[in-house]
Chain A
Amino acid sequence: MYKIVRKKVLNPVVKLMEVSAPDVANVCQPGQFIMIRVNETGERFPLTVADFDREKGTVTIVFQEVGKSTRLLGTLNEGDYILDFTGPLGRPTHIEKYGTVCVVGGGCGTAIAYPVARAFKEAGNYVITINGARTMDLLIYRKEMQEISDEFYETTDDGSCGVHGFVTTVLGDLIQKGRKIDLVFAVGPAIMMKFVAKTTEPSGIKTIVSLNSIMVDGTGMCGACRVTVGGQMKFACVDGPEFDGHQVDFNELMGRLNAYREQEQVALELWEKEHGGGK
Chain B
Amino acid sequence: MSDEKKPKRQRKPPTKKVPMPEQDPMERIHNFNEVALGYTVELAVAEAEKCLQCRNPRCVSGCPVEVPIKDFIALIREGDFMGAAAKIKETNSLPAICGRVCPQETQCEAKCIYGIRNEPIAIGRLERFVADYARERGEELPEIAPKNGLRVAIVGSGPAGLTCAGDLAKLGYEVTIFEAFHKPGGVLVYGIPEFRLPKEIVAKEVDYLERLGVEIKCNYVIGKIRTIDQLLNDDDYDAVFIGTGAGHPNFLRIPGMNLVDVYSANEFLTRVNLMKAYKFPEYDTPVRVGRRVAVIGGGNVAMDAARTALRLGAEEVFIVYRRSREEMPARVEEVDHAEEEGIKFQLLTNPVEVLGDEKGNVIGMTCVRMKLGEPDESGRRRPIPIPNSEFVIDCDTVIVAIGNSPNPIVPSTTPGLETTKWGTIVIDEETGMTSREGVFAGGDIVTGAATVISAMGAGKRAARGIHEYLTKKRNKQ
Contacts and interface: CB of A to CB of B under 8 A. Distances in A.
Given A68-B284, A238-B409, A88 B225 contact: yes
Contacts of A201: none
Contacts of B264: 222-224
A252 B182 contact: no
Interface stretch (B118-126, B131-139, B195-203, B247-255): B247-255
A68 B280 CA distance: 13
Contact of A223 (B219, B267, B282): B267
A37 B182 contact: yes
A145 B454 CA distance: 55
Contact of A267 (B225, B251, B276, B281): B281
Interface in A79-113: 83-89
B181 A256 contact: no
A23 B264 CA distance: 31
Interface of A is mostly: mixed
A75 interface: no
Contacts of B221: 86-87, 89, 219
A195 to B, nearest CB: 20
A83 B218 CA distance: 11
B408 interface: yes
A174 interface: no
B257 A221 contact: no
A157 interface: no
Interface string B229-266: 00000000000000000011101000001111100101
Contacts of B275: 43-44, 216
Contacts of A176: none
A224 B180 CA distance: 17
Contact of A217 (B181, B281, B283): B181
B284 A84 contact: no
B288 A221 contact: no
Given A89-B221, A89-B224, A223-B251, A217 B282 contact: no
A259 B258 CA distance: 12
A264 interface: yes
Nearest to B180: A219
Contact of A255 (B225, B249, B260, B281): B260
Given A84-B219, A86-B182, A221-B407, A41 B283 contact: yes
Given A44-B275, A227-B258, A216 B267 contact: yes
B331 interface: no
Interface string B399-415: 00000000111000000
A217 B249 CA distance: 12
Interface string B206-226: 000000000000111100111
A69 interface: yes
B286 interface: yes
B281 A260 contact: no
A68 B281 CA distance: 11
A260 B266 CA distance: 18
B267 A224 contact: yes
A222 B219 contact: no
Given A84-B182, A259-B260, A221 B249 contact: yes
Nearest to A251: B360
Interface residues of A, number: 42
A272 to B, nearest CB: 12
A147 to B, nearest CB: 31
Contacts of A227: 258
A27 B409 contact: no
A80 to B, nearest CB: 17
Given A216-B270, A220-B248, A228-B258, A267 B180 contact: no
A23 B225 contact: yes
Contacts of A238: 408-409
A258 B221 CA distance: 28
Contacts of A123: none
Contacts of A258: 260
Given A41-B284, A42-B284, A216-B270, A24 B180 contact: no
B267 A220 contact: no
Interface string A237-279: 0100000000001001001101110011011001000000000
A233 interface: yes
A223 B226 contact: no
A81 to B, nearest CB: 13
A270 B409 contact: no
Residue with the greatest number of chain B CB neighbours at <10 A, chosen from A23, A69, A87, A217? A217
28 contacts: A23-B225, A27-B226, A42-B284, A43-B275, A43-B283, A84-B182, A88-B224, A89-B224, A216-B275, A217-B181, A219-B221, A220-B408, A220-B409, A221-B248, A221-B249, A222-B266, A223-B249, A223-B264, A226-B251, A228-B258, A238-B408, A238-B409, A249-B258, A252-B258, A255-B360, A263-B286, A264-B286, A267-B284
Given A249-B258, A259-B260, 12 more contacts: A41-B284, A43-B286, A84-B218, A84-B219, A87-B221, A88-B225, A217-B190, A221-B266, A222-B264, A252-B360, A263-B288, A267-B280
Interface of B: 180-182, 190, 218-221, 224-226, 247-249, 251, 257-261, 264, 266-267, 270-271, 275-276, 280-286, 288, 359-360, 407-409
4 tightest CB-CB pairs across the interface, nearest first? A255-B360, A263-B286, A222-B267, A43-B284
